[in-house]
Amino acid sequence: MEHSFDESTGTYITDDQPDIRDDIRDKVRKVILKEGVVFIGICAFDRCVNLESVEIPGTVTTIEDYAFTGCTSLESITIPEGVEFIGNGAFNECSKLKEIHIPSTVDHIGGGAFSSCTSLERFTISPDNEHLIVDEKGVIYSHDRTKLIGTTVDFDGEYEIPSTVNVIEDFAFRGRSGITDIHFPEGLEVICKGALLGCSGLTSVTIPDSVKYLGGYIFPGCKNLRRVELPSGTYRLGYSMFEACGSLEEVIIPDNYTSIGSRAFFGCSELKDIEIPRNVESIEESAFTGCSALRSVKVPMLCQISPNAFDAGTEIVRG
């Protein structure tokens, strides 16, 4: 097995699974993976901030989660035929990356795989790919359009999700600050974690009652979000759901909800009033910490309130 690094040229060469030492990460400028390498592991080249060039052989089938996250000098990369799997955040924050082509063999792209690729101008999928498609806005779907997988570029204005979609994958719209409104279809069933993380252009969101599952930290960093109507199809408000949504003023929580997760409204400084449904049995730690405008809140008589769920200045009224 060969693992070599030439410090004079910044070239790393291997014929095995890449294993970059932490002390050379910021020195690597070129990577050559030899024929026979099949797997680029989790965080393999994470934060190799001076990496400019990567040669991937046709033997590679898997690019794991966060493999190239934060490679901020990487301008181009060729994903060869034979690659089947691209993991979560695989190219996240590759801020100079300008073009990506997905070959016919790729059947999985993970959540947020191309988030914060702010220079990306062109994203294409082979017409021979039977698993994935990309629309005119750069939104990636499963070929049958039942799963919304992610976005590749930021765009301004509204976006209407097709009626065929029943799942929105992890981090699908992460950091897309230009989007001002998203229309969710009736029939949507699952919104996974971080799906709208950092969508700072959103001001109001209505989630249809057909949604049966909401992942955690879906809205953190949506700093202009003022109103949200939650679905009645689920029963739990997840952790960090609205954390740091500093403009949030109104949240409609249906009566069937039974718990409010930790840090669910952490730092929602403009939230002045909220109606806790009568069926809520638990409010978890720091759920309303930092809600400085929330002076009083009515909580069901038998609801368990975790330590520090509310600021010290918030009056808790049982009833």
* Under 8 Å between Cβ of 145 and 165: yes
Residues 171 and 309 in one domain: yes
Residues 70 and 207 in one domain: no
* pLDDT per position as a tens digit, 161-183: 999 999 999 999 999 999 999 99
Predicted confidence band of residue 19 (pLDDT cuts 50, 70, 90): confident
Residues 312 and 166 in one domain: yes
Residues 76 and 166 in one domain: no
For residue 154, the model assigns a pLDDT of 86
Task: State the amino acid at position 282 in one-letter form.
Answer: S
SS3 assignment, position 23: helix
Residues 109 and 171 in one domain: no
Whether 113 is covered by a domain: the verdict is yes
Rounded CA gap, 36 and 140, in Å?
30
Residues 232 and 201 in one domain: yes
Whether 146 is covered by a domain: the verdict is no
Residues 221 and 267 in one domain: yes
Mean residue pLDDT across the chain: 96
Whether 200 is covered by a domain: the verdict is yes
What total of structural domains would you count in the chain?
Answer: 2
What is the pTM (predicted TM-score) of this model?
0.92
Among 96, 131, 166, give the residue marking a domain's end: 131
For residue 1, the model assigns a pLDDT of 66
CA-nearest of 25, 27, 19 to 3 is: 19
SS3 assignment, position 26: helix
Task: State the amino acid at position 65 in one-letter form.
Answer: D
* pLDDT per position as a tens digit, 108-147: 999 899 988 999 999 999 999 999 999 999 999 999 999 9
Q: How many CB atoms lie within 10 A of CB 143?
A: 13
Spell out the residues 6+ positions from residue 41 whose beta carbon is closer than 8 angstroms to its own.
17, 18, 19, 64, 67
Whether 265 is covered by a domain: the verdict is yes
Choice between 116 and 245, residue whose per-residue pLDDT is larger = 245
Residues 55 and 184 in one domain: no
* Under 8 Å between Cβ of 102 and 125: yes
Whether 218 is covered by a domain: the verdict is yes
Predicted confidence band of residue 319 (pLDDT cuts 50, 70, 90): confident
Predicted confidence band of residue 273 (pLDDT cuts 50, 70, 90): very high
Predicted confidence band of residue 3 (pLDDT cuts 50, 70, 90): confident
Residues 191 and 317 in one domain: yes
Whether 139 is covered by a domain: the verdict is no
Residues 31 and 67 in one domain: yes
SS3 assignment, position 142: strand
Whether 144 is covered by a domain: the verdict is no
Per the structure, the complete domain to which residue 83 belongs is given by 12-131
- The label of the residue with tokens 């690094």 reads 5
What tokens does 64 get? 């794991």
Q: What percent of the chain has pLDDT over 90?
A: 93
Rounded CA gap, 233 and 236, in Å?
10
* pLDDT per position as a tens digit, 50-99: 999 999 999 999 999 999 999 999 998 999 999 999 999 999 999 999 99
Residue 235 has pLDDT above 80, yes or no: yes
- The shares of helix, strand and coil residues in the chain, as percent rounded to the nearest 5, are 0, 25, 70
Residues 171 and 302 in one domain: yes
Whether 319 is covered by a domain: the verdict is yes
What tokens does 202 get? 């959103």
CATH number assigned to the domain comprising residue 127: 3.80.10.10
Q: What are phi and psi of 11, to 5 degrees?
A: -100, 125
Residues 175 and 54 in one domain: no
SS3 assignment, position 27: helix
